[in-house]
């Protein structure tokens, strides 16, 4: 059974600071997705990482994938309050379409 | 494009009643997924369809849950009879093919009293 673990689960940081969220998974996969969820809202797709070494950047967020280490990171640069949300990574098994989600990282950016 | 559409957005019902949740995927998407989100269990895949055919229903909790996709633009998730532990947010998502990102609907917040 594929297991996906995120850490930290809760992250409180100040505006302007940098931080990294980690996503570890237990079996072979080369497809990983990052989603954002605001309170009471749906999930919004942020990044799709499709191969080892993939790096994607959008604004203050950068995601990377290391399939050998079974690790993805979501790096936040110079955080701003608008980034406050819960961030999920989701791993797709090599065969099939099933996505397994991590527990989510609840990020709070304080002024 | 309107995105994935779900109805109702909120449902409050009493234990024992039948509940039907509805979903319209993005046009042209061949895959449709039903998820449940709770504080205790996080996001769980319940079932998914490819070209209207159920492919993997291993996440469906028990026989009280059933899902159908009679055509490419409509799916239902039914709970009969409902129980308080079914209270959750139910999301529908669709994707173009098996290895594309999934786009989520706004969700249905179900409360079973």
At B1, the pLDDT band (50, 70, 90 cuts) reads low
Q: What is the pLDDT of residue B32?
A: 97
At B98, the pLDDT band (50, 70, 90 cuts) reads confident
Residue B4 and residue B106: Cα distance in Å, rounded? 8
Contact indicator for A74, A23 with CB cutoff of 8 Å: yes
The string of DSSP letters for B60-108 reads --STTEEEEEEETTEEEEEESS--GGG-EEEEEEEESSTTS--EE---E
Segment A73-97 mean pLDDT: 92
Nearest by CB to residue B102, choosing from A96, A99, A103, is A99
Q: What is the pLDDT of residue A111?
A: 86
Q: What is the pLDDT of residue A88?
A: 97
**A2 at interface of B, judged by CB pairs closer than 8 A:** no
The dihedral formed by the CA atoms of A43, A49, A53 and A57, expressed in degrees to the nearest 10: -60
Contact indicator for A76, A18 with CB cutoff of 8 Å: yes
Answer whether residue B103 shows pLDDT above 90.
yes
pLDDT digits (tens, 9 = 90+) for A48-82: 998 888 899 999 999 999 999 999 999 999 999 99
Q: What is the pLDDT of residue B70?
A: 97
A97 contacts B99? CB cut-off 8 A: yes
**A95 at interface of B, judged by CB pairs closer than 8 A:** no
A98 contacts B99? CB cut-off 8 A: no
The per-residue b/e assignment along B1-39, b for 16 or more CB within 10 angstroms, e otherwise, is eeebebeeeebebeeeeebebbbbbbeebbbbbbbbbee
pLDDT digits (tens, 9 = 90+) for B69-83: 999 999 999 999 999
What is the percentage of chain A residues whose pLDDT exceeds 70?
100
């Amino acid at each position: 059974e594929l297991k996906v673990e995120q850490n930290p689960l809760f992250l409180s940081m100040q505006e302007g600071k940098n931080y990294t969220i980690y996503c570890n998974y237990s079996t072979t996969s080369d497809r990983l997705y990052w989603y954002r969820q605001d309170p009471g809202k749906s999930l919004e797709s942020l990044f799709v990482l499709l191969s080892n070494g993939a790096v994607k950047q959008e604004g203050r967020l950068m995601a990377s994938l290391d399939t050998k280490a079974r690790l993805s990171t979501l790096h936040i640069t110079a955080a701003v309050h608008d980034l406050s949300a819960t961030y999920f990574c989701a791993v797709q098994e090599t065969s099939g379409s099933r996505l397994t989600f991590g527990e989510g990282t609840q990020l709070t950016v304080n002024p | 494009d309107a995105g994935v559409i779900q109805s109702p957005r909120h449902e409050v019902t009493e234990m024992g009643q039948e509940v039907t949740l509805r979903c319209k995927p993005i046009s042209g998407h061949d895959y449709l997924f039903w998820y449940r989100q709770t504080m205790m269990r996080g996001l769980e895949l319940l079932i998914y369809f490819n070209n209207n055919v159920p492919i993997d229903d291993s996440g469906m909790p028990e026989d009280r849950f059933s899902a159908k996709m009679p055509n490419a633009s409509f799916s239902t998730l039914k709970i009969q009879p409902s129980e308080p532990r079914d209270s959750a947010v139910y999301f529908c998502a669709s994707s173009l093919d098996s290895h594309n990102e999934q786009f989520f609907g706004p969700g249905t917040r179900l409360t079973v009293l």
